[in-house]
Amino acid sequence: MPSDPRVAQALAALAQPIAEFRAAVQGALAQADAFLAAQTADAVTQAASAAKSLGVFGSHLDAAKFAAMFPSVAKADKASQAALTKAAKILRSVATQGDDMALAKVSDGRKLGATIDAALAGAGQAFGAIIITELVRGGRYKAAEHERLLDPSEFRAWNNAERRFAPPLVVEVAGADLHAGALLDFADGREKIVLVVTGDAPPAALVRCITPGTFVLQTVDGTGLDRLVGYEGPAIAAFLPEGAATFMHDPTAGKEPWQRLTVPFLPTTPFKAVGGFSAWQMEQDVKMLADLARTPFAVPAVPGAKGAPAIGAGDAVDRIASWLLGTSGIAGNG
pTM: 0.79
pLDDT score, position 47:
47
- The overall average pLDDT reported for the chain is 84
| Nearest Cα residue to 246 out of 203, 284, 282 | 203
Q: What is the pLDDT of residues 133-149, one digit of tens each?
A: 999 988 899 999 999 99
> Can you give the residue ranges of every domain in the chain?
1-103+128-167, 296-334
HSE toward the beta carbon, residue 18, CA cutoff 13 A: 19
Question: What confidence score (pLDDT) does residue 7 get?
Answer: 96
Separation of CA 130 from chain center: 20
What is the amino acid identity at position 151? D
With a CB cutoff of 8 Å and minimum separation 6, the contacts of 118 are 104
Q: So what's the pLDDT on residue 322?
A: 72
Q: What is the per-residue pLDDT across 99-117, written as a single tens digit (0 to 9) for each?
A: 888 999 998 878 999 999 9
DSSP annotation string for 246-286: EEEE-GGG-SSHHHHEEEEE---S----BTTB-HHHHHHHH
pLDDT per residue over 142-172, tens digit each?
999 999 999 988 898 888 888 888 899 999 9
Q: What is the DSSP letter of 310?
A: P
Strands 235-239 and 192-198, by their bridges, are parallel
**Span 297-334, pLDDT tens digits:** 654 555 555 544 555 555 656 666 676 776 666 655 55
**Mean per-residue pLDDT, 33-40:** 83
For the segment 261-266, the average pLDDT, to the nearest whole number, is 95
pLDDT on residue 14: 95
